[in-house]
Chain A
Amino acid sequence: MNETNLPAANDDEYVAVEGLDTRSIECEAIFEAKAARKTASDYEHIVWAYGVLWSLFAIYGVMLWRRSQRLRADVDRLRTRIDQG
Chain B
Amino acid sequence: MKEYKTITEVSGPLVYAEVDEPIGYDEMVEIETPSGDTKRGQILESEDGLVAIQVFEGTTGIDRNASVRFLGETLKMPVTEDLLGRVLDGSGQPIDGGPEIVPDERQDIVGAAINPYSREYPEEFIQTGVSGIDGMNTLVRGQKLPIFSSSGLPHNELALQVARQATVPEEAAEEGDEASEFAVIFGAMGITQEEANEFMEDFERTGALERSVVFMNLADDPAVERTVTPRMALTTAEYLAFEKDYHVLVILTDMTNYCEALREIGAAREEVPGRRGYPGYMYTDLAQLYERAGRIKGEEGSVTQLPILTMPGDDETHPIPDLTGYITEGQIMMDNALNSKGIEPPINVSGSLSRLMDDGIGEGLTRADHADVKDQLFAAYAEGKDLRDLVNIVGREALSELDNKYLDFADRFEDEFVDQGFDTERSIDETIEIGWDLLSMIPKAELNRIDEEMIEEHYREETPAADDEESAEELSAD
- Whether both chains belong to one complex is answered with no
